[in-house]
Amino acid sequence: MELHLVINGRKDLAAQLYQQLREAITGGRLSAGAQLPPSRLLAEQLEVSRKTVSDTYATLTYEGLLVGRIGRGTFVNAWAPRPDRVQTATDLACAASLGKWAALPSPMHHPARDEILRYEFIGGATTRNQFPQEEWRRCTLDALRRIARNSGFYSQPEGLPALREAIAGHIAFSRGVKGRAADIVVTNGAQQALDLIARVVLEPGSIVAMEDPGYSPARQLFVAMGARVASVPVDAQGIQVDQIPDGTRLIYVTPSHQFPLGMPMSLARREALLDRAIALGAIIIEDDYDSEFRYEGRPTDSLQSMDTRGVVTYVGTFSKTLLPELRLGYAVLPPAIHGAVLKAKQLTDQHSSTLPQWALAKFISEGYLLKHIRRCHSIYAGRRERILQRLAGDLSPWFEAVPTVAGFHLAALCKVPVDIPLLMELARKAQVGLYPLDVFFHDTAPRTGLILGFGAIETLDIDPALDKVRDILRQIG
């Protein structure tokens, strides 16, 4: 690969070369340790004499910007000086906007790979041990063969037809969702689906009604778009519909497994929510993020399956059933916003990567996904039961579980005052990752406790981890 340098005319060749190389080094375009081309090759590239290049290299070496290594070549010195000052956020005209983004919290931020602890109770994550590596490898190889036969054009913004057909069949079977492949748009995870819907529905100042406590990444997304988020309390039946304010344009709910508390929305509350949305002219986002894992009671219909007026957008993800790193999600769109969302998707990223789309389409159509969900269901059921036993046993002086029948996290509320930040700090020193519940409360009175994810922790690790938690609780009183 050629080094990008431009020589204009035939005057001051050495000065031009010197200035451009010096600016590339001090500006950081040539990083410390980068190797420069041999003088003969660079001279041929720039159509100058080799002596011009050699003399320039020698001058920069004398100044400490370059270093020659016998038998290896010329390199940028690791100690080369950098500019004294670059523009900071406060120097820019957009400083206020940058400040608003910087102020947004990130309560669901997952740790970096080198920060993951031995025992992790983080929510929304799965263990790699359950991922069907061999089946996914076969599907990925098939996807590579399909891409090799393609024309090389961009794909459709709504996603590959094969994947949308597979998704439509899967969610109709597993969740009773009504929708054709033509109603589905494939997204980069559920978060992009939320972003696209919000882009076309909201304007600065629009009102979004959300459960409180609720899913903070969705709240921060709506706030970042300039919306006013109205916090609506929840009770044992779900969102309190009568407190959704007039003028609301968008309603975000998690009816099958309320995030983070876990209870399902009652049938009466679902019917009331649909009626309220129709009266307001609002769109409902139904985030059905992990309800494929159900452990007790009868399955509940999706809210979308009850919608007869086209006001519910059903959002799902494969991050919870497969791997978060795949970043594949989808939205089943009502007719009123379908075209606008597709245009927003095209403007945002043209389309999601087709390689994982082809692989996932085959993975679903071959029955691997349902097989994987059934296998994980048994594993998660065992983990859930063990955590519930411990919360009802030796951890019961401090915590009680919120009743929940689905998903792979549960909430544990404090029965007595517990210094949760101190508990988390001491647990982290013992290689146990604990996460607070109160960060998901915004305008309603927060409840102290923990959100205990059991997707990322191995079954045999639960007892040793909770033993450490119990001992810490005894220590701090």
Residue 262 lies inside a defined structural domain of this protein: yes
Q: What is the DSSP string of 38-59?
A: PHHHHHHHHTS-HHHHHHHHHH
In the predicted model, residues of the chain with pLDDT beneath 70 are 1-2, 79-85, 107-108, 151, 297-299
Do 428 and 323 lie in one domain? The reply is: no
Do 282 and 413 lie in one domain? The reply is: no
Give the other-Cβ count within 10 Å of 305's Cβ.
Answer: 18
Instruction: List, in order, residues 6 or more apart from 178 with CB less than 8 Å away.
Output: 172, 304, 305, 307
Assess contact for 179 and 314: CB atoms under 8 A.
yes
**pLDDT (0 to 100) of residue 84:** 58
Q: How far apart are alpha carbons 462 and 173 in whole angstroms?
A: 33
How many structural domains comprise the chain? 3
Residue 91 lies inside a defined structural domain of this protein: no
Do 342 and 387 lie in one domain? The reply is: no
Assess contact for 209 and 353: CB atoms under 8 A.
no
Do 350 and 386 lie in one domain? The reply is: no
Q: How far apart are alpha carbons 66 and 22 in whole angstroms?
A: 10
- Report the candidate in 34, 26, 18, 36 with the shortest Cα–Cα distance to residue 81: 26
Assess contact for 195 and 243: CB atoms under 8 A.
no
DSSP 93: T
Residue 407 lies inside a defined structural domain of this protein: yes
**pLDDT (0 to 100) of residue 423:** 96
Do 234 and 363 lie in one domain? The reply is: yes
Residue 6 lies inside a defined structural domain of this protein: no
| E strand or H helix at 312 | strand 312-317
Do 397 and 364 lie in one domain? The reply is: no
- Report the candidate in 169, 260, 281, 306 with the shortest Cα–Cα distance to residue 452: 260
pLDDT in tens, 12-59: 888 888 988 988 888 788 888 889 999 899 888 888 899 999 999 999
Residue 101 lies inside a defined structural domain of this protein: no
Assess contact for 149 and 276: CB atoms under 8 A.
no
Which domain CATH number covers 417?
A: 3.90.1150.10
Assess contact for 334 and 314: CB atoms under 8 A.
no
Residue 94 lies inside a defined structural domain of this protein: no
Rg (CA), the chain: 28
Which domain CATH number covers 276?
A: 3.40.640.10
The domain boundary, picked from 369, 401, 416, lies at: 369
Which domain CATH number covers 59?
A: 1.10.10.10
* Burial category of 204 from C-beta neighbours within 10 Å (exposed 0-12, middle 13-18, buried 19 and up): exposed
pTM reported for the whole predicted model: 0.82
Q: What is the DSSP string of 346-364?
A: HHHHSS--HHHHHHHHHHH
* Angle between helix 354-365 and helix 133-149 axes, rounded to 10 deg: 120
The domain boundary, picked from 323, 343, 369, lies at: 369
Please measure the distance between the N-terminal and C-terminal CA atoms of the chain and give it in whole angstroms: 64
* Burial category of 341 from C-beta neighbours within 10 Å (exposed 0-12, middle 13-18, buried 19 and up): buried
Residue 96 lies inside a defined structural domain of this protein: no
**pLDDT (0 to 100) of residue 105:** 78
Residue 253 lies inside a defined structural domain of this protein: yes
Assess contact for 457 and 120: CB atoms under 8 A.
yes
- Report the candidate in 380, 359, 357 with the shortest Cα–Cα distance to residue 368: 359
- Report the candidate in 18, 22, 41, 42 with the shortest Cα–Cα distance to residue 30: 22
Do 221 and 311 lie in one domain? The reply is: yes
The domain boundary, picked from 345, 369, 393, lies at: 369
Do 275 and 338 lie in one domain? The reply is: yes
* Burial category of 165 from C-beta neighbours within 10 Å (exposed 0-12, middle 13-18, buried 19 and up): middle
| E strand or H helix at 336 | helix 335-349
Q: How far apart are alpha carbons 94 and 73 in whole angstroms?
A: 44
> Can you read off the two tokens belonging to residue 329?
């999600």
Do 284 and 243 lie in one domain? The reply is: yes
C-alpha torsion 447→452→453→457, nearest 10: 160
pLDDT in tens, 164-190: 999 999 999 888 899 899 999 999 999
Do 57 and 40 lie in one domain? The reply is: yes
Q: Which domain holds residue 465?
A: 119-126+371-476
Do 37 and 153 lie in one domain? The reply is: no
**pLDDT (0 to 100) of residue 107:** 66
Do 22 and 68 lie in one domain? The reply is: yes
